[in-house]
A and B are shown apart, each in its own frame.
Chain A
């Protein structure tokens, strides 16, 4: 079964991923990702009913840290790495919408 990743889907996914793509990139990703998806599509045909999904190699449980304060990083050292900072804070252009 051929999987087709349409240019519209590429654009929608790019919006979700906050990537600005040129028209050429949209076109080439549509072709390349369709080929990759076509290859990986084979796993959909595997009958894995009853096989649990693994998100970790090992079943570790209850890995905790004690609730004790430890020194963090120096604010100036971190802000010095920021593209823009002001008044001890990270500066960003205007935000159009509220957090979802």
Chain B
């Protein structure tokens, strides 16, 4: 049997659709690799071998019957464990939801199955997607396949690591303040946050509802575009889902970037690691060589985004997480009355970071602080969006770093919440504005760890964003992206 774990999603789907590979072969190949290395990396909360093989067989049967198996036919995928999967444990890496079996599938899960994808497992995350390292997972951290002493980033660290390890060519994550792009940068994969409302949130367990978006991980820009095509589009079950949005992202990649105007955000270059600053400048140079016009732009308003985010996201989270009260599902720690039962359950079920954010959010929403904090943060959000939009009068896309540094060592920031929060400085503004952004591996930085470059676009500007991302990818340094050689990577 051939090893298909180095193939892109595009190549696998083409081979399966063309009958050169069976979906079962591909799934078995992925499951074998996972079985060998999952113990070192802990990408998954659960590996769903049976589900994967059954889905693979369904694809093969469709092909045998002469039916269209879908654009992702036989492509193995990892699903972040905050996406509801019917009958498959969905935990958000929290003890409070341990063992919960949702009675329904998230819309994206339904769409992936229709597209022929094969789901191999639920990937690890920071509890309730709150964190930047997966160290907040109640079930243990995931490891960075490039260097297992380093974090994979977070919160979608399991998905990023699974792609970087070659377990799967694509994965889904969710991005509330950078939770796809930051781990993608740390793990040398592509990671993309779509325009808010382009992908349905139905079945995505909410962290901060007004910021959350589901998006793709992949090794190539083309695969990210392919995966986005499969999951995007209006959904009646999500009131914030947009209508009449673009649906084609792979095709336009061929158009190149001649004539596109690229602005380099200078505010993001002052505090980043020097190698990362160099990477952004080199990427900008490559874009200019590929026919884009490149200039610099200062958008100082973006630097207020982090503070606004750490008001809005915890506020919404404090409310979204109230429902974990021990009454209807998940953990219960008994108490003499219902209020004490609630408080005991939540004390035992939530980890320290989740509690910290619930406390912060509850505080900023409480009487007397709403106007000073929450309402002001919502005005900052308007300010950030307006500032971006002013820049987009001059530029088609913007360019900057994804993170201020490369993947850090385990434990480096876990006791200093503020330091951890600062690693999302460059990703958060897109969430506040609802705009799309993508991180593309570009080079190797400090300690030989991958560096991602971020391409920003205005609302529904995904096509231009992908085209520029592809141009960045075309100029990337060899060996800066996954999948990594696991035997070498794991022992480093």
User: Given that A36-B421, A42-B304, A53-B375 are known contacts, is A58 also in contact with B210, CB under 8 Å in the complex?
Assistant: no
Q: Which residues of A contact B329 (CB under 8 A)?
A: 78, 81-83
A88 to chain B, nearest CB (A): 14
**Are A17 and B337 closer than 8 Å at their CB atoms?**
no
**Are B362 and A13 closer than 8 Å at their CB atoms?**
yes
User: Given that A20-B343, A96-B338 are known contacts, is A25 also in contact with B355, CB under 8 Å in the complex?
Assistant: yes
Q: Give A77 to B346 CA distance when docked, in angstroms.
A: 24
**Are B379 and A53 closer than 8 Å at their CB atoms?**
yes
Q: Which residues of B contact A19 (CB under 8 A)?
A: 343, 346-347, 350, 355, 358-359
**Are B239 and A35 closer than 8 Å at their CB atoms?**
no
Q: Give A39 to B344 CA distance when docked, in angstroms.
A: 31
Q: Give A25 to B358 CA distance when docked, in angstroms.
A: 13
Chain A positions 62 through 100: 1 when the CB is less than 8 Å from some CB of chain B, otherwise 0:
010100000001100110011110000010111110000
Q: Which residue of A lies closest to B383 (CB)?
A: A51
Q: Give A42 to B380 CA distance when docked, in angstroms.
A: 11
Q: Which of A20, A46, A55, A81 lies in contact with B378, CB distance below 8 A?
A: A55
**Are A18 and B339 closer than 8 Å at their CB atoms?**
yes
User: Given that A18-B342, A20-B344, A29-B359 are known contacts, is A57 also in contact with B433, CB under 8 Å in the complex?
Assistant: yes
B434 contacts partner chain A, Cβ-Cβ < 8 Å: yes
Q: Give A81 to B329 CA distance when docked, in angstroms.
A: 5
Task: Give the A interface residue count (CB, 8 A).
Answer: 51
**Are A43 and B304 closer than 8 Å at their CB atoms?**
yes
Chain A positions 32 through 57: 1 when the CB is less than 8 Å from some CB of chain B, otherwise 0:
11011101111110101001111111
A16 contacts partner chain B, Cβ-Cβ < 8 Å: yes
**Are B418 and A36 closer than 8 Å at their CB atoms?**
yes
**Are B385 and A51 closer than 8 Å at their CB atoms?**
no
**Are A33 and B363 closer than 8 Å at their CB atoms?**
yes
B interface, size bucket:
35 or more
Q: Which residues of B contact A32 (CB under 8 A)?
A: 356, 417
**Are B335 and A93 closer than 8 Å at their CB atoms?**
yes
B456 contacts partner chain A, Cβ-Cβ < 8 Å: no
A9 contacts partner chain B, Cβ-Cβ < 8 Å: yes
Q: Which of B334, B383, B435 lies in contact with A93, CB distance below 8 A?
A: B334
Q: Which residues of A contact B386 (CB under 8 A)?
A: 51
Within 8 A of A (CB), among B327-345: 327-332, 334-344
A34 to chain B, nearest CB (A): 10
Which secondary structure dominates chain B's binding surface? helix
B308 contacts partner chain A, Cβ-Cβ < 8 Å: yes
B381 contacts partner chain A, Cβ-Cβ < 8 Å: yes
**Are B363 and A77 closer than 8 Å at their CB atoms?**
no
Within 8 A of A (CB), among B45-84: none
A2 contacts partner chain B, Cβ-Cβ < 8 Å: no
Q: Which of B97-105, B164-172, B225-233 contacts A (4 or more CB under 8 A)?
A: B97-105
B392 contacts partner chain A, Cβ-Cβ < 8 Å: no
**Are B373 and A44 closer than 8 Å at their CB atoms?**
yes
Q: Which of B339, B346, B356, B435 lies in contact with A96, CB distance below 8 A?
A: B339
Q: Which residues of B contact A18 (CB under 8 A)?
A: 322, 325, 339, 342-343, 346
Q: Give A74 to B322 CA distance when docked, in angstroms.
A: 24
**Are B328 and A20 closer than 8 Å at their CB atoms?**
no
Q: Give A77 to B87 CA distance when docked, in angstroms.
A: 10
User: Given that A73-B103, A83-B326 are known contacts, is A55 also in contact with B210, CB under 8 Å in the complex?
Assistant: yes
**Are A46 and B310 closer than 8 Å at their CB atoms?**
no
A-B complex: 7 closest residue pairs judged by Cβ atoms: A57-B434, A83-B332, A53-B378, A20-B347, A40-B307, A48-B379, A20-B343
Q: Write the residues of chain A forming the contact surface with B, with a CB cutoff of 8 angstroms.
A: 5, 9-10, 13-14, 16-21, 25, 29, 32-33, 35-37, 39-44, 46, 48, 51-58, 60, 63, 65, 73-74, 77-78, 81-84, 90, 92-96
Q: Write the residues of chain B forming the contact surface with A, with a CB cutoff of 8 angstroms.
A: 100-101, 103-104, 196-197, 210, 236, 239-240, 242, 304, 306-308, 310-311, 318, 322, 325-332, 334-344, 346-347, 350, 352, 355-356, 358-360, 362-363, 366, 372-373, 375-383, 385-386, 417-418, 421, 433-435, 459
7 residue pairs of the A-B complex, CB under 8 angstroms, read A13-B362, A17-B346, A33-B359, A40-B306, A46-B380, A58-B196, A78-B103
